[in-house]
Structure formats: structure tokens, C-alpha cells
């Protein structure tokens, strides 16, 4: 007896009914089914492609494409696109019953090449590493003592100081502009006393200028090609003898040159790089110099002996930028492989690989006071702030609409030292509990033709400075925080300062 009530339908009986073959399916339904089938086929193809293993070594990918008689590269094609093209090709061949394999031995050799290796070092390098270790430990001790003392400062004072500082930065404007050379200006950097600056140009000239008058002081001649980077000795113009090495530069001719302020020719020329030298950086002790080069290495030089102590590789492509840790223990490099690396100068080991930028890393700079923060600027138009303790990016700043050519923290010439807190005879140099403004803001230059200023901590844009007719190649901020300098592709350097500044 059926349990169905009147007007009820047994759906199981309906499912058993035969559907006539000539039943017409609405056109919209047929189209939807076709689209769904196409989508499912597309997803199945993508799933199959992902399951196809292709080597990461671009040389192996090219070799396999050549073996399969296909072009090894197409116009505008990069390694990633080439691997995807090989996957599609392998998928098509497997559909035709052709099996494609790779030489396992070649992949094993590739893995072996990634293993850590050691090379003999000189006695001079061993002595320098021990010296750097002792120097950096003293600097780290001073930094920790200063940080503990600064905890005495009430948060309200820091808030007031930051508010007043940022309000003043918002008034900054262009106060001077000077044509440097017949060719674009590639680099600019302030002297430690903030009363002069150095510029480098694509023509190979290094010029010194007064600040803020922008009058020429001297021209240093020696490089025959584009200046990549310039760095001042930490004590230059604030106590260092003018006749000794006050300045270092690197250029496209592959040389690193040492300069005094008493002559227009270099004190020494240090050779060894097989490619363009892009950036140079002084160790905080003033005894060593680091250089980054397009030969894929960075080098550590002894300026007293004018000799290379260490040649270090590790980046898979050209090394573009370099910066020294304020303690003197670490060095950071950035490369066109999109990586920023941190190296321990005391051991020579790479201790951190900072991966996160989508494109080339063009600038690195350590925070001057915290000891654990690092800023990187990239061709992906962003600045990333890294916490080296956690080995991660803590903040990404969408800084510019074109690549970031340089990022720089504000760093005062003289920070309080341990004696300022412990020695009664020098206690008057520093008021316990008084905040330190070093590192409270950072600046960046971009190929969008602007200079941007950002607050530290929350990374809010304070102001964007506009005035260059083209790319901004380099930026710097004076140690007294009175001026910002920018070098432009328009052959000029510009000075920026507070609207309340009394010149």
C-alpha cells in the first residue's frame, strides 16, 4: 500500500522515467554546459601542468628546449615564463605518448653547487675579523646602555617630540638647486658635519660643494666612468686630518678610490672587481670599506693598507647595494636577484636571507639606533622594513610609483656613548632620559621624480618633495637634520629644508 498522500509525487519513480532522445535542450542551458565543460578542462590542464616537475636551473630548461627543437628563449621572456612554456610543451608531448625526462645527475650536481664551501683566508683577514669582533662588542655594549637609559624618558615626551619634528618636516621645501655636470648626477652624500656634500656624475667627476650656498669647493679627478657610490669617513670634517683618507668612491670602471681633502687626485686606487662598482660603504670604525659590484660579489677593503681582505659571493646575480651595521658587526647587501642578505663580518658567514621583494633590491640601510631593523628599497616601488630578530618583514611601504633608487634613515653624527651615562666627568654631554631623534624618520628617492619622507614605527608619509625634472638617483639627509639632498637625472642636485629655516 502506497504511503503517498493525494497530490504527492514519488521522485524516485520520476528518476526512472526514460528521457526521449529527441528532447530539445534549451540553447542557454547547452551554452552553460559547454562553458562549464571548458572551465573544467582548463582546470584539469592547470592541475596537470602543476604536477609536471621542471628544474629550477635555467640552463637545464634551455638545454631541454634545445633538445626538443624549440626556441630556447622568446622576446621578453624570463626564466619563470620559460619554465612555464616547457611545462606546456611537456604536457602536449605526453598527450601524444612521448615521455620527457631530465638528467638526474645534472640536477644532483646543481644541488651540490648550493652547498656551503670554504676558501682559505689570509692572516690579515683573521686579524681584521678579531679586531672587528672586539670593536663591535664595545659598540653593542654602548648601544644597550644608551637604550636602557632612554627607557627613563616618559612616552609623552616622545610623542611631543615626534609631533613637533613631523610638523616641521611637513613645511620642508626646495631651498637650492645646482647643476652638477653635463651628464646626469648619479650620487649625493653629506659630509658628517653637514656643512658640505659630495656629488658624483655619469661623467666620472666627484665634486664637493658648500651647504647651503651650493658653491663648488673642489673637483676630484680619477674615475673615467659613471660614479656608482661615495662614502665619507665617519670622522671626516669633524676631527679627521684633511690629508688622510676622508672619502671613498666606486665607479663603473671597476675601481675603488680613496681621497683626501687636500688634493684632487686619489691617495690610492684599489682594483679587483671584474665589473661595475655600484655602491660603497664605510665601516663605522673608518678602517674598512665595503663595495658592491656587478661581478656578483661584494668586497671588504682595508683602507690603511689599500688592499682587499675579502671577496664574498652569494648572490645569484649582480650585487647592487651595501650598508654597514652601526655596531660594525654586520654588513647587508642587496642584489638584482631580489634578495637582501645579512653577513657577519666576524665570521664571513651569511646569517640572513631576506626574501620578499618582487623585483631587484636597489638600496639597503640599517636603523641607526635599534640594532635589529633594516630598510630595503626595490624596483617593485616599495620599501620593506625587516626585523632581523624574527627574520621577517614587519611593514611594506608603497613608497613610489616607480622604482625606489635609495632609502635612508636619519642618523645623527654623534650618538650618546657609555661614558655619557657612567662617567661623572662627562655626564654633562647627555641628559639622562632625554630622547634621541636619530632614526625617527626615513627618506626615499624614486624614479617617479620625487623624494618622500616617512615616519618611523607607523610609516606614515610625512611629505613628498617634488621638483626634479626626471628620475631621482640618490638621496641623503644631513646629520643635524637641517637638510635633505637629492641627485637627479636632470644633472642637478637639490637641497630641501624647513620653511622655518634661518639661512
The pLDDT value given to residue 83: 81
Q: How confident is the model at residue 109 (pLDDT cuts 50, 70, 90)?
A: very low
In the block, residue with C-alpha cell 662614502: 231
Domain 124-498, CATH class in plain words: mainly beta
Q: At residue 115, does pLDDT exceed 70?
A: no
- How far apart (Å, rounded) are the C-alpha atoms in residues 471 and 411? 25
The pLDDT value given to residue 25: 64
The pLDDT value given to residue 64: 84
Q: At residue 256, does pLDDT exceed 50?
A: yes
In the block, residue with C-alpha cell 634661518: 502
Lowest-confidence pick of 10-19, 219-228, 356-365, 433-442:
10-19
Strand order of the β-sheet with 373-378 is 361-366, 373-378, 383-387, 392-397
Going by the DSSP 8-state scheme, the letter that residue 127 receives in this structure is H
Spatial contact of 257 and 245, defined as CB atoms under 8 Å apart = no
- In this structure, the number of other CB atoms found within 10 A of the CB of residue 488 comes to 25
* pLDDT more than 90, % of the chain: 63
Residues with Cβ within 8 Å of 233's Cβ and at least 6 positions away in sequence, in order, are: 192, 240, 245, 246, 247, 248, 282, 286
Q: How confident is the model at residue 117 (pLDDT cuts 50, 70, 90)?
A: low
Spatial contact of 378 and 396, defined as CB atoms under 8 Å apart = no
Beta strands in 242-325 (DSSP E): 247-251, 256-259, 268-270, 277-282, 288-293, 297-302, 307-313, 319-324
Phi-psi region of 286 (alpha: psi -120 to 50; beta: other; left: phi over 0): left
**What is the pTM for the complete model shown?**
0.76
Lowest-confidence pick of 324-328, 406-410, 435-439:
435-439
Q: How confident is the model at residue 412 (pLDDT cuts 50, 70, 90)?
A: confident
Report in angstroms the alpha-carbon separations of 77 from 84, 189, 262. 10, 38, 51
- How far apart (Å, rounded) are the C-alpha atoms in residues 292 and 304? 20
Amino acid at each position: 500500500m502506497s504511503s503517498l498522500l493525494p497530490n504527492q509525487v514519488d521522485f524516485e519513480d520520476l528518476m526512472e522515467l526514460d528521457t526521449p532522445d529527441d528532447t530539445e535542450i534549451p540553447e542557454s542551458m547547452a551554452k552553460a554546459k559547454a562553458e562549464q565543460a571548458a572551465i573544467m578542462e582548463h582546470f584539469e590542464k592547470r592541475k596537470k601542468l602543476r604536477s609536471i616537475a621542471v628544474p629550477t636551473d635555467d640552463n637545464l630548461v634551455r638545454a631541454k628546449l634545445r633538445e626538443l627543437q624549440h626556441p630556447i628563449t622568446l622576446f621578453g621572456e624570463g626564466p619563470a615564463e620559460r619554465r612555464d612554456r616547457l611545462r606546456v610543451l611537456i604536457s602536449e608531448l605526453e598527450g601524444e605518448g612521448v615521455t620527457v625526462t631530465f638528467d638526474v645527475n645534472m640536477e644532483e650536481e646543481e644541488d651540490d653547487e648550493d652547498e656551503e664551501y670554504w676558501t682559505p683566508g689570509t692572516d690579515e683577514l683573521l686579524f681584521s675579523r678579531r679586531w672587528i669582533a672586539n670593536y663591535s662588542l664595545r659598540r653593542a655594549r654602548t648601544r644597550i646602555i644608551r637604550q636602557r637609559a632612554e627607557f627613563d624618558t616618559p612616552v609623552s615626551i616622545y610623542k611631543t617630540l615626534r609631533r613637533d619634528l613631523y610638523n616641521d618636516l611637513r613645511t620642508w621645501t626646495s631651498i637650492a638647486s645646482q647643476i652638477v655636470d653635463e651628464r646626469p648626477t648619479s650620487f649625493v652624500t653629506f659630509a658628517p658635519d653637514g656643512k658640505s656634500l659630495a656629488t658624483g656624475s655619469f661623467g666620472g667627476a666627484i665634486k664637493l660643494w658648500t651647504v647651503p650656498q651650493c658653491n663648488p669647493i673642489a673637483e676630484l679627478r680619477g674615475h673615467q666612468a659613471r660614479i656608482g657610490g661615495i662614502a665619507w669617513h665617519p670622522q671626516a670634517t669633524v676631527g679627521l686630518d684633511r690629508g688622510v683618507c676622508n672619502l671613498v668612491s666606486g665607479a663603473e670602471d671597476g675601481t675603488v678610490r680613496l681621497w683626501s681633502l687636500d688634493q684632487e687626485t686619489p691617495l690610492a686606487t684599489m682594483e679587483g672587481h671584474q665589473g661595475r662598482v655600484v655602491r660603497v660603504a664605510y665601516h663605522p670604525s673608518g678602517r674598512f670599506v665595503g663595495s658592491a659590484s656587478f661581478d656578483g660579489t661584494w668586497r671588504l677593503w682595508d683602507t690603511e693598507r689599500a688592499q682587499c681582505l675579502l671577496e664574498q659571493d652569494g648572490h645569484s646575480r649582480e650585487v647592487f647595494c651595501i650598508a654597514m651595521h652601526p655596531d660594525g658587526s654586520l654588513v647587508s647587501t642587496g642584489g638584482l636577484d631580489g634578495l637582501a642578505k645579512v653577513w657577519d663580518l666576524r665570521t664571513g658567514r651569511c646569517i640572513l636571507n631576506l626574501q620578499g621583494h618582487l623585483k631587484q633590491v636597489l638600496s639597503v640601510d640599517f636603523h641607526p639606533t635599534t640594532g635589529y631593523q633594516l630598510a630595503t628599497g626595490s624596483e617593485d616601488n616599495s620599501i620593506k622594513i625587516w626585523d632581523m630578530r624574527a627574520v621577517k618583514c614587519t611593514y611594506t611601504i608603497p613608497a613610489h610609483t616607480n622604482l625606489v633608487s635609495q632609502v635612508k634613515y636619519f642618523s645623527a653624527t654623534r650618538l650618546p656613548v657609555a661614558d655619557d651615562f657612567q662617567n661623572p666627568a662627562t655626564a654633562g654631554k647627555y641628559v639622562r632620559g632625554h630622547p634621541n631623534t636619530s632614526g625617527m624618520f626615513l627618506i626615499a628617492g624614486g624614479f617617479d621624480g620625487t623624494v618622500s619622507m616617512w615616519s618611523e614605527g607607523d610609516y606614515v608619509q610625512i611629505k613628498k618633495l617634488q621638483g626634479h625634472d626626471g628620475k631621482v638617483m640618490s638621496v641623503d639627509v644631513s646629520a643635524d637634520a637641517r637638510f635633505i639632498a637629492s641627485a637627479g637625472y636632470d644633472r642637478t642636485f637639490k637641497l630641501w629644508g624647513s620653511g622655518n629655516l634661518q639661512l
